[in-house]
Amino acid sequence: MPVSVTGSSVTFKLVRQLSVVVVLVFCTLAYLYGPAASPALRNAAVDQCNDYAQGNYRSFRLSWHVGVYPHWSCWDASRPADKAVSLGWWTNPFR
């Protein structure tokens, strides 16, 4: 017969399972929204998109697309006929 100090029926197995679920949810959210939420990665994406738009901060449009393969999308409004380019999931903040 198990003895509980706190008087609850929470077992270590349940705590272990809940902690695994919390870690998995955190990792999934970090994969889907991490680069967009991180100031360093967002600034690196802005710089890379500005380079693509040839240094014109007013003409580029940068957006984060969430899906199976989340990625940054950069479009130059001064060249409307060109399609948006994908900058990928990771933009290097250390360059």
Q: Within 10 Å of residue 84's Cβ, how many Cβ atoms? A: 17
pTM value?
0.75
Judged by DSSP in three states, 65 sits in: strand
In a domain, 54, yes or no: yes
In a domain, 57, yes or no: yes
The number of residues making up the chain comes to: 95
d(CA 33, CA 22) in angstroms, rounded, equals: 16
Question: What pLDDT sits at residue 44?
Answer: 93
How many domains in the chain?
A: 1
Read off the pLDDT of residues 8-19 as tens digits, 9 standing for 90 and up. Answer: 667 788 889 999
d(CA 13, CA 60) in angstroms, rounded, equals: 51
In a domain, 63, yes or no: yes
In a domain, 73, yes or no: yes
Q: Within 10 Å of residue 73's Cβ, how many Cβ atoms? A: 16
In a domain, 52, yes or no: yes
Read off the pLDDT of residues 8-56 as tens digits, 9 standing for 90 and up. Answer: 667 788 889 999 999 999 999 999 999 999 999 999 999 999 988 888 7
In a domain, 6, yes or no: no
Tokens found for residue 75: 């479009």
Domain of residue 29, residue span:
12-88
Query: Is the C-alpha dihedral spanning 13, 17, 20, 26 positive or negative?
Result: negative
